[in-house]
Copies of this chain bind each other. A is one copy, B any other.
């Protein structure tokens, strides 16, 4: 039996069998609501390095990331960049309040995202308050993360920033002690997330490796070898 659904745009979307449903906004919906959600959903694939959305553009779509990693960021006119988050499957992208996106999003790895028309999602929300409830809950979590990041950017040293970053990533990805953790973003992305330069990130990682806190088997993975000291180095 094929439970896939064909939506308005011809894309086939199967919310009922979606891997990330339990953790995404779709998680708590009744089968009927889920059918309606699938009906307004489409799939969007983006290659690593390509843009999903751009700051300032009209915010017509909202996405749920289902595979890969996405970075969201703001730019200054002179090109300085602040990455405000690395998104993983289950995370929501583009739910601006206003009619334009307030940040850009670029794929760190190849990604797959579930696309909803903004208007359709808002309409569905009116009928299924549970959907809005999930959204509010996610917004609350994002706000908490944003505040923790403000503390990092405003008050932590380079060493504390890098330690906090590694620990946070390990926790979000559910990496066990000693297990190698993929680091899909490059040094420039890490720098722009932590408010540092590439060179400082590189030097700090090297120092941590020499101090025995971490291992760097290759430039796209880390293992945390001394959790206790890394935690101490994070400043909290």
Q: Is the interface of A mostly helix, strand, loop or mixed?
A: helix
Kindly provide the distance from the CB of A147 to the nearest chain B CB, expressed in whole angstroms.
5
Collect the chain B residues with CB atoms within 8 Å of residue A194's CB.
Answer: 154
CB neighbors of B among A172-208 (8 A):
192, 194-195
Collect the chain B residues with CB atoms within 8 Å of residue A9's CB.
Answer: none
A48 at the interface (CB under 8 A from B): no
Kindly provide the distance from the CB of A233 to the nearest chain B CB, expressed in whole angstroms.
13
Which segment, of A27-35, A91-99, A216-224, faces chain B? Answer: A91-99
Question: Contact: A153 with B195, CB < 8 Å?
Answer: yes
Q: How large is the interface on A (under 10, 10 to 19, 20 to 34, 35 or more residues)?
A: 35 or more
Rounded to whole angstroms, the CA-CA distance of A96 and B81 in the bound complex is 29
Collect the chain B residues with CB atoms within 8 Å of residue A74's CB.
Answer: 147-148, 150-151
Contact with B along A114-150 (1 / 0, CB 8 A): 0000000000001001001101110111111011111
Copies of this chain present in the complex amount to 2
Rounded to whole angstroms, the CA-CA distance of A75 and B140 in the bound complex is 19
CB neighbors of B among A76-127 (8 A):
76-78, 80-82, 84, 95-98, 102-103, 126
Of B140, B149, B154, B235, the contact of A139 (CB 8 Å cutoff) = B140
> Chain A: residues with CB nearer than 8 A to chain B?
74, 76-78, 80-82, 84, 95-98, 102-103, 126, 129, 132-133, 135-137, 139-144, 146-151, 153-156, 192, 194-195, 235-236
